[in-house]
Structure 1
Amino acid sequence: MPRTRLIRRCVRRPLLALLTATALLLGAGLAPAGPAAAAPSPSAPDEGGSKQLRAALEAAAKGHIEAKARLDNSKRRQVALTAQLKQLEVRLVELTSQVGEVAAQSYRVGRLTPVSMLLASSDPNSFLKRAAELDVMAQRDSKRLHDLNEAKAEAARAKLAIDGEVREQQKQLAILAKKKRDAEVALAKVSSGSGSGFSGGSASARPAPRNPDGSWPSESCSVNDPTTSGCITPRTLHMLQQAKAAGYKRYVSCYRSGGDGEHPKGRACDFAAASGGFENVSATGGDKSYGDSLASWAKNNANRLGIMYVIWYRQIWMPNTGWRAYSGGGSPAADHTNHVHISMY
């Protein structure tokens, strides 16, 4: 073999080895860390059924949550107004008694007038003193009468306000009933009846911030999603943090670009049941227990966190229907037997 060719071969081999090692190192540095990150996608593009179904479920759930917030707020106002009315009624009894005493005294001794006081006065100084006493008594009696009339008017206003709250509650109850019917109609396409639900999961999540009237503030996809490179709403992030604090620390994926539903809006998260991430098989054993507990936890804390609905293991939970049977298409992803789906308000 010529000397020149031998030298080239000797140089080429270490160079190829170096390039191969470099490529492997770069590949290792660019690959996502952890087994869950390399796992297959948990769901099909139309997860949760058709676009029409998702829109119907969202409308029914949102309508229920909003009506429930108004109903609860109205009940709080009614309680406050009722307490105020009771205080006013006690005050009315006191003022009525005081005014009655003035009337009874006037009946017994006759009403004092400047003329009668002048006749009963022995000198000018006595007359001036009695005139001052008369002025004080007149102011006192006038204030009692004014307070009595004002208390009566305020009590009447409180009663009217309570009646208004009762009407508001009746209105919101009617809306809740309608939204329940809407949800049942929508679910009829993917549900065969009532579900059995799942056990486990505490109800101790820290509540998400609400408006002063108890409603949920409007939020956009404005904070970084710690599970992807996308964004989620602050309320979704709060739910995610509370789930982790409750011990649900397996792989999660929230934001997903493209398509429709809540994922692209940053208002939904998929929680893998398997400890290694999303798997294209239905969960069993400990993985099934983990999903059961997580789904139950989400349901138990839905009102605290602003959860709109939960889907897990061929069942869907909504606040106005409870657990219902659910069929998403037959695969572990579509039937949600390999991950728990949580949609936020």
Structure 2
Amino acid sequence: MAATFLRRAKPVLALLAAIFVLLAAPPAAHADPDEEGASKKLRTALESAVKGHVEAKQKLAASKKRQGQLKTTLAQAKGQSAQLTGRVGEIANRSYRQGRLGAMTMLLNTGSSDEFMDRMIRLDQMAQVDSHTLAGYRDALTTAEKAGTAIELEIKEQQKQVTVMAKQKEQAETALIASGGGTLTSGFGNGKSPKAKAAPRNGNGELPGESCSADDPTTTGCITPRLLNALQQSRAIGFKRHTSCFAQRASGGEHPQGKACDFSAAPGGFENVDASGDDRTYGNNLAAYLVDNADRLGVMYVIWYREIWLPGSGWRSYSGSGGPAAAHTNHVHLSIL
């Protein structure tokens, strides 16, 4: 009887054992990346350098725009003064030939009071025209002189901002080298990605300051409107795999500020393995899309597969200490300004 019971129970016991093994086995590591392998010092240095670079680049662009407007003003003023030069010469010659006595003689040599009044009116009209011409000529010369001086100042401003950009670029690369990376790489992206909808900018072309005020569709937290735009734009062209943006992390960074998203390479989530095959291609294409649209989206940096992209520096090697999450070989990291 006991033997019969044991024989019949074997399949049930085997099934229960299999279920126990499945329940006891660790999941396929679909947890969000926690620490991403970068020290607080590195992140602070990169954020400072990138923001400084972008600010200098915006000031440089604004200065070049002003210089272009000033050149137009200068050309118009020179053209106006050139047109008036002949008339000013005529006025000067007439004044030299006639002088005040000539005008008085002209008035006195009249046969009647009507003729006197007629000549007096014509002389007054001529004086008004001469005065207007001379004032216009003087204004044109003054405008041209001021525009020329302003252009010289803009050139100096541009030289200053170019120097600042170079210094910020050096700062970022020095920080990367100190952390074990920083080598120039081939990277991802060739400028052929679809154009993203640009994030709103101020009238002077600068990105406005934003708070964590928009609902994060990937978590229960918040993100900035600019990051939400980047997320929506990437999803609109097909990058819809698991993504996590807002996160409270002891190490700080952009996630707690609502300025960063992690895009998993695998469809199901953040697997604790290096992406390969289709997953690697997906990450490559996403990284390229974000970088190709960096200016439109307001990208601060992108990290993917042991490489980091920074404005001004391009793609550089990135050394994250740890597993796939730290090396960013299982997800693409996006930080927004």
TM-score between the two structures when normalised by the length of structure 1: 0.85
Matched ranges for 1:90-105 at <5 A: 90-105=79-94
Give the CA deviation at 1:114. 4.6
Q: Please name the residue that 2:123 is paired with.
A: 134
Deviation at 1:77, TM superposition (A): 0.7
Per the alignment, residue 157 of structure 1 pairs with 146
Counterpart contact for 1:112–1:134, Cα < 8 Å: no
What is the Cα deviation at residue 247 of structure 1?
2.2
Distance 1:52 1:60, change over 3 A: same
> Do residues 227 (structure 1) and 215 (structure 2) align?
no
Q: TM-score, length-normalised on structure 2?
A: 0.87
After superposition, what is the alpha-carbon deviation per residue over 1:243-263, rounded to whole angstroms, capped at 9, x for unaligned?
Answer: 112321211111002320000
1:82-121 aligned at under 5 Å gives the runs: 82-107=71-96, 113-121=102-110
Residues 1:257 and 1:44: Cα distance change in structure 2 (over 3 Å): closer
SS in 2 for 1:277: coil
1:302 counterpart (294, 297, 316)? 294
Evaluate the alpha carbon distance shift between residue 39 and residue 134 of structure 1 in structure 2; reply closer, same or farther with a 3 A threshold: farther
Q: Is the 8 A contact 1:208 1:238 kept in 2?
A: yes
- Could you say which residue in structure 2 is the equivalent of 1:266? 258
Number of the residue aligned with 1:25: none
Note the aligned Cα RMSD (angstroms): 1.8
2: distance between equivalents of 1:246 and 1:99?
65
Residue aligned with 2:325, SS: coil
* Paired residues of 2:189 and 2:292 also in contact (CA < 8 A): no
Aligned length: 307
Shift in CA distance, 168/53, structure 1 to aligned 2, threshold 3 Å = same
CA deviation map 1:69-88 (0-9, x unaligned):
11111111111111111111
Once the two structures are superposed, residues 170-192 of structure 1 have per-residue CA deviations (whole angstroms, 9 ceiling, x without a partner) of 11111101101100110001305
CA contact (8 A) 1:114 1:131 kept: no
Q: Which residue of 2 aligns with 1:288?
A: 280
CA spacing shift, 1:192–1:158, aligned 2, 3 Å = closer
**Structure 1 CA distance for aligned equivalents of residues 182 and 81 of structure 2:** 60
- Determine whether 1:202 maps to 2:197: no
Name the % identity.
52
184-193 or 137-146, which deviates more? 184-193
Post-superposition Cα deviations, 1:223-272, rounded to whole Å, max 9, x if no partner, equal: 11111110011111111111112321211111002320000000000111
User: Partner of 1:318 in structure 2?
Assistant: 310
Matched, 1:70 2:59: yes
Which whole-Å deviations, capped at 9, do the CAs of 1:62-102 have from their partners, x for residues lacking one?
11111111111111111111111111111110121221122
Alignment of 1:50-65 (within 5 A): 50-65=39-54
The answer as to 2:244 corresponding to 1:253 is: yes
* Structure-1 separation of matches of 2:298 and 2:284: 20
Match in the other structure for 1:20: none
- In 1: Cα distance, 2:65 partner to 2:336 partner: 25
Task: Indicate the larger mover: 65-74 or 105-114.
Answer: 105-114
CA gap 1:192/1:262 in 2 versus in 1, 3 angstroms: closer
Displacement of 1:118 in angstroms is 2.3
Distance 1:174 1:164 in 2: 16
Show CA shifts across 1:278-337 (max 9, x none): 211111111111110111111111111110000000100101211111110241100001
Q: Deviations over 1:8-63 (max 9, x none)?
A: xxxxxxxxxxxxxxxxxxxxxxxxxxxxxx96323233x15111111011111111
CA change 1:98–1:271 in 2 (3 A) is: same
Determine the C-alpha separation between the residues in 2 that align with 1:273 and 1:53. 25
Aligned equivalents of 2:44, 2:200: Cα separation in 1: 25
Please say if residues 48 and 54 of structure 1, whose CA atoms lie closer than 8 Å, have aligned partners that are also in contact.
no
Counterpart of 2:209 in structure 1 is 218
The whole-number CA distance in structure 1 between the counterparts of 2:273 and 2:92 is 88
Does the CA-based 8 Å contact 1:309-1:318 persist in structure 2?
yes
Report the more deviating stretch, 97-106 or 230-239.
Answer: 97-106
Gaps of 5+ in 1: 1-37
1:4 equivalent in structure 2: none
Q: Which sections of structure 2, spanning at least 5 residues, go unmatched?
A: 1-27
Structure 2: distance between partners of 1:162 and 1:326? 42
Is residue 339 from structure 1 mapped to residue 328 from structure 2 by the alignment? Answer: no
The letter for the 2-side match of 1:88 is A
Question: Displacement of 1:106 after TM fit?
Answer: 4.2
